[in-house]
Structure 1
Amino acid sequence: MKDYIHELLKNQPLALIIIASLLALITASGGMTIGGLTFSLPSNEWRILIGIFAIIILIAAIISLFGSNIVMWPNGDKGSDLYTALGLKTTVRDDSIFQNFEIHRPDGNINAVHYLWADTYKGGKISAYVNNSEYFLRIEFDNIDERSYPSNIAIRPQNEEPIKIDQKKRFLSFEARRADDSIQPIAVAVRVVNQYLQHWWYAQHGGECKQFKVVNAQWKKFVIDLYDKDSWKLFDSDGYYKKDVKDPFFDILGSVIFEFGIPNDIGRPRGGKGTIDIRRIKVTCNAS
């Protein structure tokens, strides 16, 4: 029920304002006639209760309509800021650019990468650098062993400010290309980190990772629907996976993680090595 109210406040604030106004009118007049049907309140106690309810709906809807930073969270939370453990600011941006790899120091977009991870037990390696003239990130990885976990890299948001997500602005996109001469496709899996510091895998219905294949040196755009709730699986090897929010919930996008390897029919990308470029990570209103 709380999730349903949350969605109404985000997506239908005008409808809620109209409903609240009608309830207030009924309360003030003691009743109303619509299409020959008469609605009347039996007592002053009912008028008071409905009036209070109408005021609460009206205030919440107006706050939602005019973009306040006050967010109604599920499970009783108000404005969870666990994402700041990533070193991010509490300021939440409402634009489309998550990270464009245009670095500016000492102020502004000072760092595009949060961390790099490789399976060092198996001898895995990963490195990365930003091309600050063409604005892309180049990643070189070597997973060494086909049984090793895939090398991965976590991308920080622009200016270290997380980006706001809603049901309209719901499509995460990025562009990628190969930067080596291998004919073996590179498989890319994606995780995202929400405001609760949870990591969510972009996965198929059965829980296996969806893998994007990067096959040549031409830039290709890939798109992910953040609100396709059947395409997400909670990742329990990083982040705050014990948080009692068990459904994918993305109001704030704090980090995007890319995993690299060779295509694998089951599970995550495995093994392999390669060099790949990534640019223009965005969140937009359409998939095109």
Structure 2
Amino acid sequence: MNRIDKRKLERYEMVVYISLLLLAVVLGFVGNGINQEVIKAITINLASELLAVGILFFFINRMFLLGDSDDLPRKLLDVLTRDNSPLIMKFDLFKSELYARIQQMSKQIGEEVNTKLDLDSNELYSFHGLLGKRRGMTFQNFRVSRDADCENTNAVSFLWADTFYGNSVNAKVISKEVEPFLRIEFQSFEPSLGCNIAVRSQDQRAIELRGQELNYLCFYARIPQEALQSPDLLQDVGIAIRLVNGKCQHWDYGDKSGEYRQFSIKGDGTWTVVCIDLQDKKRWSHFTGDGNQYINQDEMSNADFSVVSAIVIKVGKFLGIRGELGYGKGMVDIKDIRFSPDLVKMS
């Protein structure tokens, strides 16, 4: 190696040493300013390790430059960096401690977040933009208005479609009849996850069922005549249900997540009553694809419906089995969503 290359190498090495030193100093200052004890300990420990490594290799490198032979420093470096050397063992110990502390931190942070946010609260309906809760039987009657004295300004919280496969869904309130209703138009393609809409609670307030003995969720659905007259639209529409409670947890009406209990809508243009039993908690399964995922073990088999903030209606082709609905293009009307103490039958 000529003198010029050697000087360049020395300069590069000096930059590395100075960078290690500065990084160690910065980490030390940052660590002292951190209030979280676990993070503070990790940062300061890392700073001390960087400083020690920089000093160690600085002296090893000096030995390379000052020594008459390369054998001694090379042997020393081999000893220090072999698998069972004190240096490597120290790094392995530090790495395992770091991983263990990170795992402790994640659990601790989760507990702290839950303590401050209270993910077990029945008032997380505010995540949907709801203003509070109310008691009563009507969940949504679709009498929406933007008049100053009307709080029922919108009947839908969100629409969801599997856009990867090109699915689409639209919803609008039609009030030309005596009872207004929600019209849902959808199109889904195999093998997508279909389409759904989340009906918003009346007057922008979640409904509190606690103590009211309202055991059933009921509403009316139909395939409109214009859909029945079109050869391109489904004549056998099916519906599946998911409830969102006050904790913002999503619950599928089915024995397992994704195994929905399907409801067939009559293909004659008349209204079909859809009634869901809230009492049998074994028919409900926690949906992990949306909403609050903090849930204790007892709730897994005992869904909390003391407060309901949204009703998600899945639409597709009725297959007559438990599971995902089929695919196709269709239209369905929904009206008068309410809770009832008894099973509602067609009038």
TM-score where L is the length of structure 1:
0.69
Read off the aligned partner of 2:154 and give its amino acid letter.
Answer: N
Q: Which runs of 5+ in 1 are unaligned?
A: 1-75
* 1:138 equivalent in structure 2: 183
For residue 87 of structure 1, what is the aligned residue in structure 2?
129
Whether 1:258 aligns to 2:313 is yes
Rounded to whole Å, the distance in 2 between the matches of 1:236 and 1:127 is 24
Pairs within 5 Å for 1:212-227:
212-216=263-267, 217-227=269-279
Q: Is the 1:147–1:270 Cα contact (8 Å) retained in structure 2?
A: no
Kept in 1: contact 2:258–2:324 (CA 8 A): no
Structure 2 unmatched runs, 5+: 1-117
Match in the other structure for 1:190: 241
| Contact 1:194/1:251 (<8 A) preserved | yes
Secondary structure of the corresponding residue to residue 282 of structure 2: helix
User: Match for 2:309: what amino acid?
Assistant: G
Q: Rg: which structure is higher?
A: 2
Q: Which has the higher strand share?
A: 1
* Structure 2 SS opposite 1:162: strand
Q: Give 1:273 deviation, angstroms.
A: 1.4
Aligned partners of 1:149 and 1:270 also within 8 Å: no
Q: How far apart are residue 243 of structure 1 and its match?
A: 2.6
Q: For residue 138 of structure 2, what is the aligned residue in structure 1?
A: 97
Aligned partner of 2:292 among 233, 240, 243? 240
Q: CA deviation at 1:268?
A: 1.3
Alpha-carbon offset, residue 80 of structure 1:
2.8
Q: CA deviation at 1:132?
A: 2.1
Shift of 1:242: 2.9
Structure 1 residues 163-182: aligned runs within 5 Å: 163-166=207-210, 168-179=213-224, 180-181=227-228, 182=233
Cα–Cα, structure 1 residues 208 and 115, in superposed 2: closer, same or farther, change >3 Å?
same
Change (3 A) 1:77 1:183: closer
**Alignment match, 1:279:** 335
Give the whole-Å Cα distance in 1 for the aligned partners of 2:322 and 2:135: 36
Higher helix share: 2
1:12 alignment partner in structure 2: none
Matches within 5 A, 1:25-44: none
Secondary structure of 2:135's partner? coil
Instruction: Pick 1 or 2: higher relative contact order, CA cutoff 8 A, min separation 6.
Output: 1
The answer on whether the counterparts of 2:238 and 2:317 sit within 8 Å (CA) in structure 1 is yes
Q: Partner letter of residue 192 of structure 1?
A: L
Q: Secondary structure at the match of 1:105?
A: coil
Q: Aligned-pair distance for 1:206?
A: 8.8
The TM-score, its normalising length taken from structure 2, stands at 0.58
Q: In structure 1, what is the Cα distance between the partners aligned to 2:167 and 2:161?
A: 5
In structure 2, how many angstroms separate the alpha carbons of the residues matched to 1:268 and 1:209?
A: 6
**2:165 is matched with which residue?**
122
Alpha-carbon contact 1:193-1:200 (below 8 Å) kept = yes
Structure 1 stretches of 4+ with a deviation exceeding 4 A read 76-79
- SS of residue paired to 1:93: strand
Q: Contact (CA 8 Å) 1:82, 1:195: kept in 2 or not?
A: yes
C-alpha deviations, 1:196-231, integer Å up to 9, x for none?
100000113797210001132100111111121111
